[in-house]
Chains A and B, each alone.
Chain A
Amino acid sequence: MTEVLAECVNATRRFGSFTAVDQVSMKIEAGEIVGLLGANGAGKTTLIRMLLGLLPVSEGEVRLFGRPPSRQTRHEIGYVPQGLGIYADLTVAENLQFSRGVYGGPRQDYDAPAALRPFASAVVRDLPLGLQRRAAFAEALAHRPKLLILDEPTSGMDPLARARLWETVQRTTDEGAAVLITTHYMEESQECGRLIVMAQGQVVAAGSAAEIVGQARVIVVQSDSWVSAFRALDAAGLPVALVGTTLRVPQASRADVANALAGLPCRLTEAPATLEERFFELVRAREPAR
C-alpha cells in the first residue's frame, strides 16, 4: 500500500466572512507529482500554507505523514515559494550551509549539485533567475524531504530552464518523494501524474489530465473571414480562442456557434478540448456562484 504523505479532510479556511478554502479533501501519496491548478484567488496558496502548517484550518483536518503539522513534520518537507525563499545576499554554498545548520545531516548532502557547482561561490542575486531557482531547489531538496511543495516554481523562466527543473522534479519522485506543485502553465501540468483543479476555494476536478478533459469537446471554426467570425462570436458572449487563424469555442453547442456566426462563410467541426480549455470551462462554471 502506498504511503499517504499529506491529507486534507474537509479542510476549510476562512478569513473573516471570506472562505478561501472550502471543504477540500485530497491526498498526496509517495512517489507522485500532484499539480494544483487554479486561477488567481482560487485558494491554492492558502491550501499550501495550511499543508505547511503556516495557517490553522478553520474546519476539517490537515495531516502530514499521518499527524497534524508540527515542527517535527517540517523535517520531512521541502518548500520553494514563488519568491524563492533563499538569501539573495549569500552565495549558493552559504545558503546550503545554513540549511544544513537547520536540518542537520551529512555534509555531502549539502554540496551544490553538479549543475550548480561552478556557481557555488556566486552570490545568489548575481545569478540569472533560472540558476536562482535551481539553487532554491537544491536547498529545498538537500535534507531529502519526503514531500516537496513548489509554488509556481517555473514562473518567469525560459523553456530550457523549465525543462531542467522538471527533470529535477521527476528525479525527486523517482527517489520516492512526493511533489505538490502549483503552476499556471497548462503544458507543464501534463508532467503531473495527477491534477487537482481549484476554483472559488473548492476542488472542482481531480485526476489525470486525460480524466479531467474527459469527453469535453470544442467547436472549431475555420473561415477566410476569421476576424469577422471572431467579432461575431465574441459579441455573442461565447468564450472564443484564436489559434493561428482557427477559432476554438469551448462550452458551446454547434447550433449556438452557427447562430452567432449568422451566415458568415465558415466551416464548423468538433474536436476534443485541450486541458486549458477544460480548465477554463471548469473555472467559468463556478463564476456565477461567486
Chain B
Amino acid sequence: MLGMIVKEFRQLRRDRRTLALMIVMPAVLLIVLGYAASFDVSSISAVVSGPQAATAAAALHPPFHAVDVAPGQDAAWAHSQLRDGKAVAAFVTGARPQVLVDGSQLFAARAAVTALSSLGHSGGAGASASAPLAGAAPQILFNPELKTSYIMIPGLAGLVLVFIGTIITALGVVRERETGTLEQLAVMPIRPRDVFLGKVVPYFVVAAVDLGIVLTIGVSVFGVPFNGSVAVYALGALLFLFATLGTGVVISSVSQNQGQATQLALMTVLPQVLLSGLIFPLGSIAVGVRWISYVFPLTYFTEISRGVMLRDEPISGLWLPFACLAGIGFAMLVLATLRFRAYLQPAEGHKRRRAPAPEEATALAGAGERK
C-alpha cells in the first residue's frame, strides 16, 4: 500500500494542473466567494422625475441614492429608465406621485420594498419623510410578485450555453488531438478556418436547440414572461455562443487530453456561475472582486437575457453588454483560429508569413510535436 501511496504522490506532483486545481482553486474560490457571496443590497440606485424632483431627491434616505434627477420628465421616462436598467427604483412627483421598483433585479427590489415600507410608502399610508411622494404605494414592475424563477431562468439559459459551449466543445476538439485525427486533418487540404467552423457549428446548433428547450420550459412550465424581442434575444445568444464556443476551442488548444480540458473548462465555468450576477447581485459583490465579473461573457448575457425577457428592453438600452459580448466573442474567435492555424497551416505557409528563425520555427512546431 505504501508503494501505491508514494506512486500516487509522484504522479500528482508531475500533474501540475490537477495540483493547482486541488490546492490553489479552493483557496481562490474561498476568497472570491467570501467577497462575492452576498445577497445584501446596501445601495439602491434611483431616478427622480416630475416637478418636485429636486425636493424629493433631496429627501431620499439611504439605501436610496439618486442617479438622475429630471424635473422635466414624467412617469413614462421613469419607466423607461427602469426598463433600460439605469436604476432600480424611480420616484415620480406631481399630481399623481408614483414609486416604481424594478422587480427583475430581485434582491435590490426586495431591499427597496423593505426600505420603502420603513419610510412609509407601504400602500397608501402617508409619507411624512418625503412629502412630494405622499400617498404613493410602490409599484413593482417586470416581476410584480418578485418570483425567484423569473430572474433565475433567464440566467440559467445562459448557464446551459456555457456548459455546452465551453466544456463540450473543449472535449470535442481535444478528442481529435488525443486520437490523432487532428494530425490527419492537418495533412488534409482543409483550411484552419473550415476546421474551426466545422467543429463549432454542430455544437452551435445543439446549443441553440438546448436554449430553445430551456426557454420553452421556462415560459410554459414556470410562467416566466418573454416580453421582449426574440430577434434581440437571438442576437445576444449568437454573440454569447461565439464567445463560449471560442473559449472552448481555446481551452482545447492548450490541453493535451480530455482531463486537462475538463479541468480548465471548469476553472472558467465555476467562477462564471458565482460572479456573473446569476446568483449573487453584481452590486453586492465587493468592488475588488467585481471586476472579474466583467471579464466573463455570462455576466453580459444574463443582463441581456433578463433585460429582454422581463423588461422588454430594446437593443439601444443593451448596447454595452452587446458590445462587450461582441468584443469577447471576436477575441476568442481570433485566438481559437490562430491556435488552429498554428497546428494546421502547411509548414511553408508558416515560413511565407513569418519567415521564422530556426528557433522560432521549432517553437511553432511545438504544437505538432505535442500531440
Contact B184 A85 (CB under 8 A): yes
**Which residue of chain A is the closest to B175 with respect to CB atoms?**
A89
Is B147 among interface residues, defined by CB-CB distance under 8 A? Answer: no
Given contacts A74-B187, A102-B190, contact A58 B349 (CB under 8 A): no
Residues of B within 8 A of A86 (CB): 181, 184
Interface residues on chain A, number (Cβ under 8 Å): 33
A58 touches B347 (CB 8 A): no
Is A79 part of the contact surface with B, judged by Cβ < 8 Å?
Answer: yes
B148 beta carbon closer than 8 Å to chain A: no
Interface digits, B351-371 against A, CB 8 Å rule (1 contact, 0 not)?
A: 100001011011011001100
A15, B180: Cβ atoms under 8 Å? no
In contact, A85 and B181 (Cβ under 8 angstroms): yes
Residue contact B179 to A83, C-beta cutoff 8 Å: yes
Q: How large is the interface on B (under 10, 10 to 19, 20 to 34, 35 or more residues)?
A: 20 to 34
B3 at the interface (CB under 8 A from A): no
A103 close to B (CB within 8 Å):
yes
Asked whether B346 lies within 8 Å of A103 as measured between CB atoms, the reply is no
> Which stretch in A23-31, A64-72, A270-278 binds the other chain?
A64-72
Chain B residue with the shortest CB-CB distance to A90: B181
Contact B187 A54 (CB under 8 A): yes
A88 contacts partner chain B, Cβ-Cβ < 8 Å? yes
Contact A56 B347 (CB under 8 A): yes
A45-53, A185-193, A257-265: which one contacts chain B? A45-53
Query: Considering the chains assembled together, what is the distance between the CA atoms of A52 and B187 in angstroms?
Result: 6
- Cβ contacts under 8 Å, B365 to chain A: 15, 54-56
| Residue from the list A55, A57, A71 in contact with B368, Cβ < 8 A | A55
Name 16 interchain pairs, CB-CB below 8 A, sorted by A: A14-B362, A15-B362, A52-B187, A53-B347, A56-B347, A56-B351, A56-B365, A69-B346, A69-B347, A70-B348, A71-B346, A81-B183, A85-B187, A87-B181, A102-B188, A102-B189
Binding site for B on A (CB under 8 A): 14-16, 49-50, 52-59, 62, 68-75, 77, 79, 81, 83-88, 102-103
The 6 closest A-B pairs by CB, nearest first: A85-B184, A83-B180, A56-B347, A74-B189, A53-B346, A68-B348
